[in-house]
């Protein structure tokens, strides 16, 4: 507890950051001249951090060498239960990756006195990056739900090693989600966290994306291309739905915990993003009823004689 309080106190005592104009890299601030800090740690700790980085979206596109730099720069922080690691409105100069435990993300929306729970961060997830990505105050408060071990990454290392790829990936998916009707009314912060959970995959025309009767583990959103749903009935394939850009499928098996209700096949070459069962349950709870709207279509054809 003292370690975390001392770290947070030191950050507050530094005073406000000087004004920054786009944090550009010029003659006196070249990327190639950057030398990341090195915090000594054991090989076992490095392996543990690497495992967590591989689960966090913003680090997945880094090269092995870049990941080594990030791992060396990270510092272990212990957060006791109920400790506020990040407070909404404060300036931020680091991000965190959860090594052990879980933390609650809350935000006080206009007109409300009490904070709203947005999500719970678990092992392998990163938080605090929004303030670094956009050079803005903290967007929410993050509080330890239980005793936690966190890996802290400083702003300079993030900016030089991680930021570019993270910004490109997040903006790409946020723009996509704005065009998906059921996600368009979400808060920008909520959409940004939803984008973090995406895994991208390409499917060639004619390939099967989902097989009827199999266990369902993922929800899919169609980013490019066309697909169709069909049901095996009387030894024939009956097409029950067509999908275009912005449509989603695979939600029934996840929400109802039952086998896939239909086959989904790529009509053209497709670019998809998927979300795991865990991410769907954690991030899309309030949208569950909207996700169920396609159920009656599958049932109508399944029961049709």
Assess whether pLDDT exceeds 70 at residue 264.
yes
Find out if CATH 2.60.120.10 is the number for domain 197-303: yes
Q: What is each CA distance from 26 to 10, 113, 181, 263, 283, in whole angstroms?
A: 29, 44, 41, 53, 40
Taking the whole predicted model, whether its pTM rises above 0.85 is answered as no
Assess whether pLDDT exceeds 70 at residue 175.
yes
Q: What is the pLDDT of residues 60-117, one digit of tens each?
A: 778 888 899 999 999 999 999 999 999 999 999 999 999 999 999 999 988 888 999 9
Distance (Å, whole) CA 249 – CA 198: 14
58 CB-contact burial (10 Å; exposed 0-12 / middle 13-18 / buried 19+): buried
The CATH code of domain 2-163 reads 2.60.120.10
Angle at 254 between CA 199 and CA 205, to 5 degrees: 50
Distance (Å, whole) CA 8 – CA 283: 29
Count CB atoms within 10 A of the CB of residue 20.
8
Q: What is the pLDDT of residues 2-33, one digit of tens each?
A: 455 455 445 444 444 333 333 443 433 444 56
DSSP 84-143: EEE-TTS---EEEEEEES-EEEEE--TT-SSPEEEEEE-TT-EESHHHHHHT---SSEEE
Number of H helices, E strands in the chain: 11, 16
- Token reading at 151: 């890996």
**Region(s) of the chain under CATH 2.60.120.10:** 2-163, 197-303
């Amino acid at each position: 507890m003292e370690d975390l309080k001392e770290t947070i106190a030191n950050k507050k005592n530094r005073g406000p950051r000087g004004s920054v104009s786009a944090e550009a890299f010029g003659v006196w601030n070249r990327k190639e001249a950057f030398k990341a800090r090195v915090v000594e740690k054991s090989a076992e700790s490095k392996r543990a951090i690497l495992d967590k980085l591989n689960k966090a979206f913003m680090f997945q596109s880094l090269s092995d060498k870049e990941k080594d730099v990030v791992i060396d720069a990270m510092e272990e922080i212990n957060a006791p239960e109920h400790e506020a690691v990040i407070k909404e409105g404060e300036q931020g100069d680091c991000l965190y990756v959860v090594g052990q435990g879980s933390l609650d993300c809350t935000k006080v929306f206009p007109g409300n006195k009490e904070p709203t729970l947005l999500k719970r961060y678990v092992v392998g997830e990163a938080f605090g990056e929004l303030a670094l990505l956009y050079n803005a105050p903290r967007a929410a408060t993050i509080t330890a739900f239980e005793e936690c071990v966190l890996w802290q990454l400083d702003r300079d290392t993030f900016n030089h090693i991680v930021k570019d790829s993270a910004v490109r990936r997040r903006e790409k998916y946020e723009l996509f989600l704005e065009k998906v009707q059921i996600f368009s009314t979400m808060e920008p912060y909520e959409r940004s966290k939803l984008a973090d959970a995406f895994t991208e995959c390409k499917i060639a025309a004619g390939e099967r994306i989902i097989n009827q009767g199999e266990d369902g583990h993922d929800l899919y959103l169609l980013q490019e291309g066309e697909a169709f749903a069909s049901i095996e009935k009387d030894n024939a394939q009956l097409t029950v739905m067509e999908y275009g850009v912005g449509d989603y499928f695979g939600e029934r098996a996840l929400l109802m915990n039952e086998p896939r209700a239909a086959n989904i096949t790529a009509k053209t070459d497709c670019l998809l993003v998927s979300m795991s069962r865990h991410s769907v349950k954690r991030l899309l709870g309030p949208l569950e009823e909207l996700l169920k709207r396609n159920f009656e279509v599958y049932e109508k054809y399944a029961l049709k004689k």
